Chains A and B, each alone.
Chain A
Amino acid sequence: MASYLEQLEYLTKEISDSFPGNDFLISQLITLVTTCPPTFTYVHDPYTTGVTASLVNALISSLSAVDAKSFVPEDDAIPTIASAQVNAVACFTARLFYDTTLNRLAKWHPLWDDGCENWPGGFTGVRYNDSLDGFLHGLRVLHAQLSDDEAGRTPQRSRLKVKAQVRKNTVKMVLIIERAERIKDSLPELLVPLTRLAELSKVDIHTILISQSPWEELKPLMGAAVDPFHLSVRPPSQEDTRRILVSRFPTDGDISAAPHAYHPALLQFYAQYVDALCSICAPFTRDPHELSYVAAAQWPSFVAPVLDAQRDANQFHPIPEDVRMRLLRVFLPSFTAALEALLPRRMHARTWSQTPDVTDGPASDEKGVEMTISSLSTLQKYILLAAFLASSNPPRTDMRMFARSRETRSRRRRGGGTRKAPQRSGSTPAKVPQRLAGPASFPLDRMSAILAVLLEEYDLESRVISKEFTQLGEYTEMELVRVHTSGAITELSAAHLLLRVSPPDRLDGPPMYKCGISYDVALALGRDLRVPMLDLIWEAG
């Protein structure tokens, strides 16, 4: 009599094997869906949303695959489940949402040859994707279709084999929406109806929202939406993480095969490796996906010595304990480097696994800076420097920093001493240094003035100056208004190294810009051009 339950047990086991560490959620969901779920459930999973989504998907779809008629008829309450999983990002318009939902609920696959038609819903020419009303009608028609006989059933919908059974069993529809937080932006008008879908459509349908953000974030105003039944998923524990990682070991299970990196005999060693890895990397990220990414990237180079040891062996010899220990000890430092290179995806796993040079990781950042600098033309470099200075120095200090004549210079030095004073005094919160608060925006004129100073002071001798420019600075003045200077500025802002703040079509007043390069890049540029940046930045250091 409990055969249905056994089926469920079997499912539970199956799924919790493929998704370790989620047993609780799984059992909850199974119980809910198979009995009488609340019309609106909200699954809050801050960390592993993707995993949970796929879990729920697998679960529901396998539940809907369960054939209700195969169980003893005396229990009439075994539901037939039709499910649809919809991604709120992928469905960015209402029509897309309606189409996808109905097609998936009906297990309808559009065919190219009949013009990729959507689920026709029995009658032809009716469209259910025009509005919410249409959608609700579609749901009703679909539900009727599913629960009574195969009127207008097409070969695609093969699930409803036994009409008698279907007639007897109740049909549940389950609509799962992942990345639900996006509904608020993309389909705001749908949010409230979704929470009340069952009541609006008078159909036995259950909405499950899966999101990374708490319900409070989505909740529409004035209590228009029904409050959901909350389920919240905890991030996997260390132990679960380990299990997940080990379960990801991509072995073909052919024990007799010649030694290779994914030989089944290595599984136990892999577990050790994973433990070591987790002990290093787990504190830095809780996401099992990322951890397994790092693990997969590091494994080939890690196991390489072992493989070399028994290259010519045609089947695997167990690895002595001391070798393992030594390996682990040797590789321990490299784990951190791997994490720092791989987690931000400065490198992707394959490159890392091919170039297991530990020192390569951190260096790549400077390499990026070098690339940037080398790619710029001299004028662009100067423009960037000027922009950086304009963005980081308060305008009132320009006179002190860039004034040309001697005595103002000396004043600037003195100014250097006094400028600490305002920060010390006053109960008002200390001002955030500009380089932390982000670049300030500046008018183009100011930047070109600074640029003039820079060019005049540091660039003059390196230029071929044509004869007609006699008086001091005239050449630079001319340089600034040339086509290529503005061209260079445009180029830079196209490369997002210089950020235009004011709208391009604004005519009156100079255009406003913001500097797009970081402090380090600016310093590197200064070094490259032999410009003493630290003297020119107001809040140096």
Chain B
Amino acid sequence: MSLAHDDVDATQPVVYIPCGDETSTEDDAENDTDEILAEEYSPFRERDLPGGYVTRFDLYRAAWKKCFDRMEVRSIFRSLGARVETRVQHIVSALHAPLVDEIVRSVHRAYDDILPGLPRVELPVIAISGSSTSKGFLADVASRLETNHAEDAEDDDPPPGSHITHLYPSDCPNIMSTMKALVTGFVNHPPNGKDVQRKPVTSLASYDIELLKVWYGVLRDSAEGPEPPPQLVVFLHDFEQFDESVVQDMFYICSSYVPQLPLIVVVALSSLFPSFLHTTYPQSILSLLRVDTFTVPSGPTLLERVIAETFFDLRFEPDVMVGPAALDYLTDFFCRHASSVEGALLILQLTHFKHFDEPLTVFVHDELLGTSSAELATEKLSDPKGIAFLTSLVSWSFGHQELAPNQVGWPVNDVAGLLASIAKARADFRYRLRRFKLAFGVLLRVRKVILNLGYRTAEVDKTPLEMMSASLRGGLAREGKYLVMMTKKLSVEKTQILLQDLQSFLDELPGHMDETQEVRQGLAASAELLEGAEGAISTGVADEFGDWLAGYFQEHIINLEDLRLWEIWYTGPTPFPSDMLNPAPRASVVSALLQPQSFLPASHNDATPERLPIWKLPDASILFRRYLEAGRMINVYDWYDSFSQAVESQRSHLSRGGGEGSGADEEEWKMHVQARFMRALHTLDLIGLIKHTGRKADHVMRTVFDIPE
């Protein structure tokens, strides 16, 4: 983990990318997981539909894509320089938009509002802290600066155009290369179209800021009349990684050319550590700068927004509803480990991925089972190979009482009927889910209104995220009651406010939804009550409404697991496979070497005692046992001896009764043992348990010492 590594976001899946190419994108990540799973990994093989895996995988892709497009965090898999269009429904960038605007504006104004009477013209520096929490942010800013700014209508005069150069720590080991990167970054775009061949030695050096000055002179003159002279913006990415002395010199040089060169430095602090500049750089340098600090929004609110607008939004129906367990894990992970959007998305993706292990999820969309028509699906299902699947489907889809022997006949007596019942179940689930969401929305809204009315206690000591997971458990009864109780206490006009607010909430929703009708009626009822109500009975209105509300919550905020076949559309209480996202590689490797039996396929070993006799172990494990017994340095020859002994005993165990071989195949056997030794040795070497030492040719060094036996 070298610091120079450009993203330190540890949520990059160590798990999914075996051959260690960091630059793998979403797709090939899926692809290799594809074959991995296709070959070894298939949890419910016994009751799986033949070829079900592939079908489900496509379904998974579709589902995740839908969900992902919804969140549209476009920044993840794109490089920073890429142009990015701002779209309204972008959840994340919608969060960022105001800040981006502010930054862009302050860049434009950098040389306009200068306080008179200052001793010197300062070099404007814009420090953006926490830019690593979502990588798209800087790209946003850059693109906004590059594209000419129609949307900045509020400035009466057109904002100055700006040329941008990006500097990365890796380009700037010393001041010379830094200045070169800075200057050439601008100069490589010839100012007036025509580029001039500069003589390498008798012209200005390419790292000479004078060159930039000349270039800018031409640029400014070539710019036509009204618009203000263009600005030069320099982005410093991963600012903490830059060498201090280099940056100091760079600031010094740049500031001595301000304002002839309208340079503006945008400093991207990867961490949320705003005072980094001040703690690191001396005052003599800081006094040359004019630092404006901005902080990228992050933390739980961000996550909350993403979840609420994805899974708890009526306008959007994900194929799979995330269950409380996964949600809790997500929240915990987000607070405990990496509070980055990318991390959160990865978790959601994995949740989907795991969900589709379940064979039944093949029905998530329809009953076609990946075939083209219902008939085909029917016969595919009645295919004897899939009998296990069919039985499991039946047993899942009907509770025991329905399957009880005393019943006459089956609820469905042919496959088609079964499929139809599934379709019905799906529709039902969707319907209930929508109503659930609506009810939850209403609940939150009520809570919000009452909070706004100034009742702190309404914030039923739960964060919205907690409330979400609680509601999914159907565990919001207490909170619901409390809110209802408070609603009843409301005075007339406050009730009025509440009703109006809820009304507007409904109006925001797409009108066609019939679920809202019920609520509308409820509101309307209490509203007209309120119309004709005098002060005396007005409290009665609040009561009425409260009761109605209570009933409403009671009815709709339910535990989704009570629904039939919920496993198909709802991850429910299935725990998140945290080891996939946050593994302990070294520990697992070591334990694998120590107890291979618990890792090898079940067929391979019969009874699994705590500790196998050494001859039962595979070669690598044998070597490793000896390794643990050795000292800091291991003499390879001794190692080989001990290994061959173990192998001898193994041989004697395996070939009982077999007569001893002749000398010839003794020779062969020796070579055979040697070969096995070498292979095992290289295996350990590959895993990184061996360090070669130059001092002693025949010795290797241990890299692992403290092993919990």
Contact = CB atoms under 8 A, between A and B. Distances in A.
Interface of A: 50, 87, 89-90, 92-93, 95-96, 99-100, 103, 109-118, 120, 125-127, 129-130, 248-250, 262, 288-290, 292-293, 295-297, 299-300, 343-346, 348-350, 353, 365, 368, 371-372, 374-379, 463-464, 466, 477-478, 481-484, 486-491, 493-497, 500, 504-505, 507-508
A379 B249 contact: no
Contacts of B2: 504-505
Given A115-B198, A117-B203, A120-B202, A493 B211 contact: no
B217 interface: yes
Contact of B338 (A118, A250, A484): A484
12 contacts: A99-B204, A99-B205, A110-B214, A116-B196, A118-B204, A289-B120, A345-B278, A348-B291, A483-B14, A494-B8, A504-B2, A504-B3
A117 B199 contact: yes
Interface string B688-709: 0001000000000101000010
B335 interface: yes
Given A350-B290, A371-B295, A293 B214 contact: no
A377 B202 contact: no
B275 interface: yes
A508 B122 contact: no
Given A112-B217, A484-B338, A344 B271 contact: no
Contacts, number: 231
Choose among B118, B280, B298 the residue with the greatest number of A CB atoms under 10 Å from its CB. B118
A483 B196 contact: no
Given A496-B276, A500-B3, 10 more contacts: A112-B217, A115-B199, A249-B117, A262-B116, A296-B115, A345-B289, A371-B273, A484-B337, A486-B1, A494-B238
B584 interface: yes
B572 interface: no
A378 B336 contact: yes
Interface string B625-665: 00000000000000000000000000000000000000000
Contacts of B218: 112-113
Given A250-B116, A481-B586, A482-B583, A464 B337 contact: no
Contact of B256 (A90, A100, A127): A90
B554 interface: no
Nearest to B191: A112
Interface of B: 1-5, 8-11, 14, 113-120, 122, 129-130, 175-176, 179, 191, 196-199, 201-205, 207-211, 214-215, 217-218, 238, 240-241, 249, 252-253, 256, 269-276, 278, 280, 283, 286-287, 289-292, 295, 298-299, 328-329, 332, 335-339, 575, 578, 582-587, 691, 701, 703, 708
Contacts of B130: 375
A489 to B, nearest CB: 8
Given A296-B115, A350-B113, A368-B274, A483 B582 contact: yes
A296 B115 CA distance: 8
B582 A299 contact: no
Given A99-B208, A478-B584, A368 B275 contact: yes
> By CB atoms of chain A within 10 A, which of B273, B292, B703 has the most?
B273
Contacts of A493: 3
B118 A296 contact: yes
Nearest to A372: B273
Contacts of A495: 240, 269-271, 273, 276
Contact of A348 (B122, B202, B217, B240): B122
Given A296-B116, A486-B10, A371 B176 contact: no
Given A110-B210, A296-B118, A372-B273, A115 B240 contact: no
B124 to A, nearest CB: 10
Contacts of A300: 115
A428 B673 CA distance: 64
A159 to B, nearest CB: 20
Mostly, the B contact residues are loop
A344 B208 contact: no
A370 to B, nearest CB: 10
B335 A378 contact: yes
Given A113-B196, A497-B273, A466 B8 contact: no
Contacts of A126: 202
A116 B198 contact: yes
Nearest to A248: B117
A290 B115 CA distance: 15
Nearest to B124: A348
Contacts of B11: 484, 487
Contacts of B118: 292-293, 296, 349
A92 B210 contact: no
Given A112-B218, A127-B202, A89 B253 contact: yes
Contacts of B205: 93, 95-96, 99
Contacts of B271: 375, 491, 494-497
A488 B274 CA distance: 19
B346 to A, nearest CB: 12
A89 B198 contact: no
Given A377-B339, A495-B240, A115 B203 contact: yes
A372 B272 contact: yes
B585 A483 contact: yes
B273 A375 contact: yes
8 tightest A-B CB contacts, nearest first: A487-B10, A375-B272, A495-B271, A296-B117, A250-B116, A368-B275, A345-B286, A289-B119
Given A96-B205, A343-B283, A345-B289, A112 B249 contact: no
B598 to A, nearest CB: 12
B583 A483 contact: yes
A488 B283 CA distance: 31
A375 B298 contact: yes
Contact of B337 (A290, A343, A353, A488): A488
Contacts of B207: 93, 96
Nearest to A445: B706
A440 B336 CA distance: 27
A89 B252 contact: yes
A507 B703 CA distance: 9
B332 A112 contact: no
Contacts of B328: 464
A485 B661 CA distance: 54
Nearest to A291: B119
A493 B339 CA distance: 17
Contact of B329 (A110, A111, A376, A464): A464
B275 to A, nearest CB: 4
A345 B214 contact: no
A299 B1 contact: no
Given A112-B196, A290-B287, A504-B2, A129 B201 contact: yes
B117 A250 contact: yes
Nearest to B285: A345
A299 B118 CA distance: 11
Contacts of A483: 10, 14, 582-585
Contacts of B3: 490, 493-494, 500, 504
Contacts of B289: 345
A395 to B, nearest CB: 17
A144 B691 CA distance: 68
Contacts of B275: 365, 368, 371-372
A292 B80 CA distance: 41
A494 B9 CA distance: 11
A345 B283 contact: yes
Contacts of B287: 289-290, 293, 345
Listed residue (B114, B119, B339) with the most chain A CB atoms within 10 angstroms of its CB: B119
Contact of A125 (B198, B202, B252, B291): B202
A508 B10 contact: no
A283 B548 CA distance: 72
A90 B117 contact: no
Given A112-B215, A112-B217, A494-B241, A484 B10 contact: yes
A299 B701 CA distance: 70
Contacts of A93: 176, 205, 207
